[in-house]
């Protein structure tokens, strides 16, 4: 790199070797992209054009391509910036999932924003800013960088949650997310302060060394444990695991559906990436101390999420509680702690991205002006109106429930078998029992779509250009240009859900041999 650029000898490039910048290239691309979109928003002030989504999509595609390149090249020493950031395959896999989700959301956005009447350029700026935070988080190997990533991810999302400015529910969601998110950040940061104070380091590798020494002499520093506990509370909040889930249902319901799509999938993936890195690598020496609490949180999340979801009347709330339950399943992979568990958790995150993005995408497509598609009655008789959408939604519901031949089945299968291999039979049993409960509310959504008769007023629901078999909604070429990408996203999510449900090896072989580096 240095020879290519032929820099003068007095230029002290040794501070930031070029390899460092190459290592964080996806972050740089997306971060720079958000500045680019910001400037583009000034240059093209007309509302509702497709310039901003196209730029955002190209930026995310570029980052995705770079990440694929990094995966293929597979740097021998993936740690850059003095151990503050790792672009190992673990981080890159999380990057893939997050970037693909973001791409799907960007494809869905123009049509959704137009129907809901909130086409503001800020939307794409904030989306890319939050995405930058997620990419930072997936590779962070230093407490300072983890904190920066968490905040960079969260702060734009607070605004996005309240993006439907005229709707009280959206405002309420933003306020709750902000206050409870800030509360969790406080715990996270205080935990980090205690860990730093007891070890004298912020780098995860150095902290790991200190923990190893402590664990060898069987003396577990209580202040350090308190730090780990507070840090975990902060992160468990972000992944919305019970009992730290208070915010989830309200924020998921109140936020615009498109924001909920992004928030529920991408945030969870990024937060779980740092969670897995911390617990499977850095904090491994203290495993005897954290194994039981994490397992208990996993069980509480599975039981609480699945049981409460049964009683919900809002589809978004059902998916929120289902998200809490899914966080519980993924925590099984963390509690198991073995490489098997980490791989199973990563597999489940990828599976979750496909099925949850798909399910929320159907909701965004069905959302009309003034309100999101959220009540069961709005889904009633969807089969007669839009057979393809109804079929895909049913597929996503079955996959979330863990039906065979869907990606969700193998997600759960790998997690439970990892738990059994590790001798943690109770976790697997709780997982299977609660999955059985979850069938109830997932099947209810399907039942409503296929049997119930639609309301008189919902006959006017918009049919999607390119998706509706009658083709009635193709009013103009612009309607099609925003409708077709959205349709393609849902269909692709459906195809992915089935194909990966039949050939799980497609992803699982990628995961073989992923080792978690921590600086």
Partner 1 sequence: MTGLFPGFLILSAAMFSVGAVGVLVRRNPLVVFMSIELMLNAANLALITYARYTHTMAGQVFALIVIAVAASEVVVGLALITGVYRSGHKLNLDELSEMSE
Partner 2 sequence: MLFDYLPLLVFLVMVAALGVGLTFGIPLLGPRHPSTAKGLPYECGIVPAETARRRFSVTFYLTAMLFIVFDVEAIFLYPWAVLVRSTLHIFGLVEMTIFIALLAVALLYVWRKGALEWD
Applying CB under 8 A, the residues found at the interface with partner 1 are: 143-144, 147-148, 151, 155, 158-159, 162, 165-166, 168-169, 171-176, 178-179, 182-183, 185-187, 189-190, 192-194, 196-197, 200-202, 249-250, 253-254, 311
Nearer to partner 1, 93 or 237 (CB): 237
Nearest to 80 by CA among 71, 70, 88: 88
| Structure-block tokens of residue 264 | 């529920």
Please tell me whether residue 9 binds partner 2 under the rule CB under 8 A. Answer: no
Angle (nearest 5°) at CA 276 between 140 and 299: 145
Binding to partner 2 (CB under 8 A) within 470-489 occurs at none
Please tell me whether residue 179 binds partner 2 under the rule CB under 8 A. Answer: no
Give least dist CB 41 to partner 1, A.
18
Nearer to partner 2, 67 or 155 (CB): 155
Please tell me whether residue 226 binds partner 2 under the rule CB under 8 A. Answer: yes
Give least dist CB 118 to partner 1, A.
14
Q: What is the DSSP string of 185-246?
A: HHHHHHHHHHHHHHHS--BHHHHHHHHHHHHHTT---HHHHHHHHHHHHHHHHHTT-TTS-T
| Structure-block tokens of residue 405 | 């031949």
Nearer to partner 1, 97 or 161 (CB): 161
Give least dist CB 145 to partner 1, A.
10
**Partner whose footprint covers residue 12, from partner 2, partner 1, none (CB < 5 to 8 Å by kind):** partner 2
Question: How many residues sit in the footprint of partner 2 (CB under 8 A)?
Answer: 17
**Is the Cα torsion angle 79, 290, 148, 210 positive or negative in sign?**
negative
Beta bridge partners of 85: 80, 140
Give least dist CB 218 to partner 2, A.
9
Distances (CA, A) of 152 to 95, 125, 158, 176, 267: 16, 13, 11, 18, 11
**Please, are residues 463 and 386 in contact by the beta-carbon 8 Å criterion?**
yes
Please tell me whether residue 215 binds partner 2 under the rule CB under 8 A. Answer: no
Sole window of 168-176, 215-223, 400-408, 438-446 interacting with partner 2 (rule: CB under 8 A): 215-223
Please tell me whether residue 10 binds partner 2 under the rule CB under 8 A. Answer: yes
Nearer to partner 2, 10 or 476 (CB): 10
Longest dimension (CA), the chain: 76
Please tell me whether residue 18 binds partner 2 under the rule CB under 8 A. Answer: no
Nearer to partner 1, 148 or 229 (CB): 148
Sole window of 73-81, 223-231, 241-249, 498-506 interacting with partner 2 (rule: CB under 8 A): 223-231
83 vs 146: CA distance, rounded Å? 13
Nearer to partner 1, 87 or 250 (CB): 250
Sole window of 143-151, 220-228, 330-338, 346-354 interacting with partner 2 (rule: CB under 8 A): 220-228
Beta bridge partners of 80: 85
Three-class SS state of 257: helix
411 vs 407: CA distance, rounded Å? 6
Residues 6+ apart with CB under 8 A from 69: none
Nearer to partner 2, 10 or 460 (CB): 10
**Partner whose footprint covers residue 158, from partner 2, partner 1, none (CB < 5 to 8 Å by kind):** partner 1
Give least dist CB 369 to partner 1, A.
19
Nearer to partner 2, 28 or 61 (CB): 28
Please tell me whether residue 193 binds partner 2 under the rule CB under 8 A. Answer: no
238 vs 185: CA distance, rounded Å? 9
Neighbours of 404 (CB within 10 A): 11
Nearest to 320 by CA among 332, 308, 333: 308
- Structure-token match 């992803």, residue found: 507
**Please, are residues 263 and 255 in contact by the beta-carbon 8 Å criterion?**
yes
128 vs 111: CA distance, rounded Å? 18
Nearer to partner 1, 96 or 177 (CB): 177
Beta bridge partners of 371: 368
Please tell me whether residue 12 binds partner 2 under the rule CB under 8 A. Answer: yes
Sole window of 35-43, 63-71, 297-305, 487-495 interacting with partner 2 (rule: CB under 8 A): 35-43
Nearer to partner 2, 35 or 502 (CB): 35
Give least dist CB 364 to partner 1, A.
19
Q: What is the DSSP string of 374-386?
A: -BHHHHTTHHHH-
Give least dist CB 152 to partner 1, A.
8
Sole window of 218-226, 271-279, 384-392, 406-414 interacting with partner 2 (rule: CB under 8 A): 218-226
**Partner whose footprint covers residue 219, from partner 1, partner 2, none (CB < 5 to 8 Å by kind):** partner 2
Please tell me whether residue 513 binds partner 2 under the rule CB under 8 A. Answer: no
**Is the Cα torsion angle 35, 38, 44, 50 positive or negative in sign?**
positive
Give least dist CB 38 to partner 2, A.
6
Out of 1, 2, 19, 35, the residue judged to bind partner 2 by CB under 8 A: 35
Binding to partner 2 (CB under 8 A) within 38-77 occurs at 38-39, 41-42
Beta bridge partners of 314: 375
| Structure-block tokens of residue 499 | 């194909």
Instruction: With residue 261 as reference, give the H or E element that holds it.
Output: helix 257-262
Distances (CA, A) of 369 to 69, 161, 256, 450: 41, 17, 11, 25
**Partner whose footprint covers residue 151, from partner 2, partner 1, none (CB < 5 to 8 Å by kind):** partner 1
Interacting residues toward partner 2 by CB under 8 A: 10-13, 15-16, 35, 38-39, 41-42, 219-220, 222-223, 225-226
């Amino acid at each position: 790199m240095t020879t290519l650029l032929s820099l003068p000898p007095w230029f002290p490039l040794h501070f930031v070797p070029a390899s460092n910048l190459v290592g964080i290239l996806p972050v740089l691309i997306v971060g720079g992209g958000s500045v680019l979109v910001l400037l583009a928003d000034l240059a093209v002030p007309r509302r509702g054009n497709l310039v901003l989504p196209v730029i955002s999509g190209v930026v995310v595609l570029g980052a995705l391509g770079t990440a694929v390149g990094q995966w293929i090249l597979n740097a021998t020493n993936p740690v850059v910036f003095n151990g503050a950031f790792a672009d190992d395959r673990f981080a890159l896999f999380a990057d893939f999932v997050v970037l693909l989700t973001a791409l799907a959301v960007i494809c869905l956005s123009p049509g959704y924003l137009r129907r809901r009447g909130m086409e503001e350029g800020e939307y794409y700026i904030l989306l890319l800013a939050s995405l930058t935070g997620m990419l930072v988080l997936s590779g962070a190997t230093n407490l300072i960088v983890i904190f920066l990533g968490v905040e960079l991810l969260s702060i734009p999302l607070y605004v996005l949650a309240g993006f439907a400015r005229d709707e009280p529910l959206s405002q309420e969601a933003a306020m709750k997310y902000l206050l409870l998110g800030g509360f969790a950040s406080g715990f996270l940061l205080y935990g980090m302060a205690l860990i730093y104070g007891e070890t004298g380091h912020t780098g995860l590798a150095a902290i790991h060394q200190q923990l190893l020494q402590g664990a060898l002499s069987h003396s577990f520093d209580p202040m350090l444990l308190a730090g780990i506990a507070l840090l975990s509370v902060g992160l468990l909040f972000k992944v919305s695991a019970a009992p730290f889930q208070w915010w989830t249902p309200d924020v998921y319901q109140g936020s615009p559906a498109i924001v909920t799509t992004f928030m529920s999938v991408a945030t969870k993936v990024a937060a779980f990436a740092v969670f897995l890195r911390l617990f499977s690598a850095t904090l491994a020496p203290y495993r005897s101390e954290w194994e039981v609490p994490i397992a208990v949180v996993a069980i509480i999340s599975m039981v609480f999420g699945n049981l409460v979801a049964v009683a919900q009347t809002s589809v978004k709330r059902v998916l929120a509680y289902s998200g809490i339950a899914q966080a519980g399943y993924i925590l099984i992979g963390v509690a198991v702690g073995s490489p098997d568990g980490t791989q199973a958790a990563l597999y489940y995150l990828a599976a979750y991205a496909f099925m949850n993005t798909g399910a929320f995408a159907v909701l965004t497509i069905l959302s009309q002006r003034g309100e999101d598609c959220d009540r069961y009655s709005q889904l009633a008789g969807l089969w007669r109106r839009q057979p393809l959408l109804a079929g895909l939604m049913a597929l996503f519901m079955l996959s979330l429930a863990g039906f065979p031949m869907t990606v969700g089945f193998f997600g759960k299968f790998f997690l439970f078998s990892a738990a059994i291999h590790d001798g943690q039979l109770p976790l697997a049993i709780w997982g299977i029992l609660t999955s059985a409960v979850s069938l109830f509310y997932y099947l209810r959504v399907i039942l409503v779509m296929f049997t119930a008769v639609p309301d008189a007023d919902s006959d006017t629901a918009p049919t999607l250009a390119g998706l509706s078999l009658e083709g009635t909604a193709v009013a103009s070429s612009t309607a099609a240009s925003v409708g077709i990408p959205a349709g393609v996203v849902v269909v692709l999510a459906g195809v992915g859900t089935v194909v990966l449900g039949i050939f799980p090896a497609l992803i699982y072989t990628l995961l073989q041999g992923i080792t978690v580096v921590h600086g």
